[in-house]
Amino acid sequence: MSEAAALGEEVIGWAPPPRPDFDVLEGQWTRLERLSADDHAASLFRAYSSHDALWDYMPNGPFHSAAQYHRWAREAEASTDPLHFAIRNRDTGTVGGTCALLRIAPEAGSIELGYIALSPELQRSRVATEAFCLLIEWAFEAGYRRFEWKCNALNMPSRRAAQRLGLSYEGIFRQAQVVKGRNRDTAWFAAIDSEWPPLREAYRAWLRPENFDAEGQQKERLGDLTSLVRAASDPGL
């Protein structure tokens, strides 16, 4: 092995990207809006009501009153890392979920998607999937080199979602955290910038209106379109 190879590939022509500073991202079915307690909290609390299980693997929640959720949203909207967004269905105008960009490290070219809380209406929907695609697109087009997704290793729906998006499985970090008094092993997934062009084409193909029937059901699965891009698949799925 040459000395240069032993030191790692030289990164040429890359500069640290900007931190995310946008308030809105729009797609065909989705509108991502910077979280605002006054604008979104009441609708989100209603959407989450009676669905406490969605907080099982989250560091926050469950919330047992609208006032309690409003207080959390007020604190979250003031944060720049995590940077929280509300997910709005453009067809219905309703807000039914949140997500965030976090561990934002322009100096490393790395950024993560997390704090994903989806009401039953948005779970496994094209609205939510497009929201994630919009954030991945923004990151790579802005110049980030690495887009990460981490979740509790017991959270199989989250692991399936990451793989469906074409993010590669990178392993389990054992005893990575203590969350709500319980051990958390963390599953890591990521995509890197060289994988973005084929991922972008897969997203565009999946998001074509022609890929959905009259009931909004997909004809071609996103996971099938992204399968050739993934460097490694999750052996637990």
What pTM did the predictor assign?
Answer: 0.96
Q: How far apart are CA 177 and CA 89, in angstroms?
A: 33
Q: What is the spatial distance between Cα 170 and Cα 177, in angstroms, rounded to a whole number?
A: 17
Other beta carbons within 10 Å of 221: 12
C-beta separation of 87 from 95 below 8 A: yes
Res. 6: pLDDT tops 90: no
Instruction: Give the pLDDT mean for 139-144.
Output: 98
CB distance 112 to 151 below 8 Å: no
From the options 3.40.50.2000, 3.40.50.720, 3.40.630.30, 3.40.50.300, give the CATH code of 21-226.
3.40.630.30
Q: What is the mean pLDDT of residues 158-169?
A: 98
For residues 55, 61, 62, 67, the Cα torsion angle rounded to the nearest 10 degrees is -150
Over residues 17-25, the mean pLDDT reads 97
pLDDT averaged over every residue in the chain: 96
Assign residue 214 a region: left if phi > 0, alpha if psi is -120 to 50, beta otherwise? alpha
**Assigned token pair, 130:** 């497009």
What would the mean pLDDT of 70-81 be, rounded to a whole number?
Answer: 98
Q: Largest Cα–Cα distance of the chain, in whole Å? A: 62
Q: Is the pLDDT of residue 2 over 60?
A: no
For the chain, the structural domain boundaries read 21-226
**Token output for 5:** 């190879």
**Are 47 and 96 spatial neighbours (Cβ–Cβ below 8 Å)?**
yes
What's the Cα-to-Cα distance from 180 to each of 57, 71, 103, 127, rounded to whole Å?
9, 19, 20, 30
- Model confidence over 186-225: pLDDT tens digits? 999 999 999 999 999 999 999 999 999 998 899 999 999 9
Supply the pLDDT for residue 4.
55
CB 229 within 8 A of CB 195: yes
Question: 37 is written with which tokens?
Answer: 């307690």
**Coil vs helix vs strand at 105:** strand
Share of the chain above pLDDT 90, in %: 94
